[in-house]
Amino acid sequence: MKVGLSFCMLFFIFGNLAGAAAPDPGNPDTAYVECAGISQGALLIKIMFVTDNVGDTNKIDGFSFPLRLTNSNPAANPVLDSSWTATYAGSAAGGFSALSTWVYSNGGDPGIFPLQYNLTAINLQNSPAIGAGRYLFANLIIHLEDTTTICVDTHRTETVTLFFLKPNNQKYFPQWRSGCCQVDSADFTFLAGDANCSGGNPNLTDVIYLTNYVFRGGPAPCLERLGDANCSGGSANLTDIIYLVNYLFKGGPLPVPCS
C-alpha cells in the first residue's frame, strides 16, 4: 500500500543507508527543471530526470530531491501546493510505497519564499524499479497573483543531498540542471469576475464557481482578486455572487477590477 510518510521517517530510512556512494551506472544520469506554463493562476514546474540504467541491480529504487525555490516579485504572493498527491501525480515514482514532501524552511509555510522543499520517494515493497528512460519525478504547483520569475535549484546540508538509490541500497549522485520559469503579464490578463480564470468576460460558469466556493466548500477563485467582483476587499462572498448575477441577467455594472 502506498503511503505519504513524514520526512522524519524517510530521513531515518535514508540515514541508515550505506554511507559510501556507488558510481553512477553508464553515462551520468541527469535531473533538471522544466517549465510547463501557467493555467488558472497556477504555475507548473516539472522536475524531470533521465537515466540510462539497465539491469535489475542498477535500476532506481529511491530518490532524495532537496530543492530551493526563489521568487523575484513579492507581490506575486507565491504559494506552493506541497501535498504529496499533487506533487507526485503522474510521477515515475508514484507507484513507490513511501512518498514524502516537506517544506523544510520558514516553519513549514509553503507561502514564504525563498523556501527549501525536500522530496523523497522510496520503494519499500515490490513496485517495479525504474530503468532507462526520461521521466517526470515531481510537479511543483505554485499559485501566483502577479508576474514573477520562479527559480528552482538544489541545496545540500549536512544531512540532506540529491541522490538516487539502487535496489541494493547504494546511492549515487546524478547531474543537476537548475532552471527559472518566467510568468509575464499576458498570463494575468483575466478580467474581473472571471473567478475560474477561463478567459473572456465573466459568465454563468463563474457564478456557479463562486457559489460552490462560498456555500459548498468548492475551490477558491484562481486569483483572489478575480472573485471579489465588486472590489469590496477580502475573499469572495454572497455580495460578489449577487453582483455577477445582476451584471449577467439584469444589466448591472461590469465587475470592478481590483489590483
Domains in the chain, please, with CATH? 3-186 (2.60.40.680), 190-249 (1.10.1330.10)
**What is the bridge-based pairing of β-strands 3-4 and 98-103?**
parallel
Comparing CA positions, the residue from 144, 151, 142, 70 lying closest to residue 105 is: 70
* pLDDT (average), residues 26-33: 94
Q: Report the percent of the chain where pLDDT is more than 90.
A: 65
* pLDDT (average), residues 36-51: 92
Question: pLDDT, tens digit, for every residue of 97-136?
Answer: 899 999 999 999 999 999 999 999 999 877 889 999 999 9
Distance, CA of 238 to CA of 226 (rounded, Å):
14
* pLDDT (average), residues 27-31: 95
Question: pLDDT, tens digit, for every residue of 68-87?
Answer: 999 999 999 999 999 989 99
Which segments of the chain does DSSP mark as H helices, in order? 7-15, 84-87, 204-216, 224-227, 238-249
Per-residue confidence at 1, pLDDT binned at 50, 70, 90? Answer: very low
Question: pLDDT, tens digit, for every residue of 136-195?
Answer: 999 999 999 899 999 999 998 777 899 999 998 899 999 999 999 999 877 778 888 999
Ramachandran quadrant class, 52 (left: phi over 0; alpha: psi -120 to 50; beta: rest): alpha
Total residue count of the chain as it appears in this document:
259
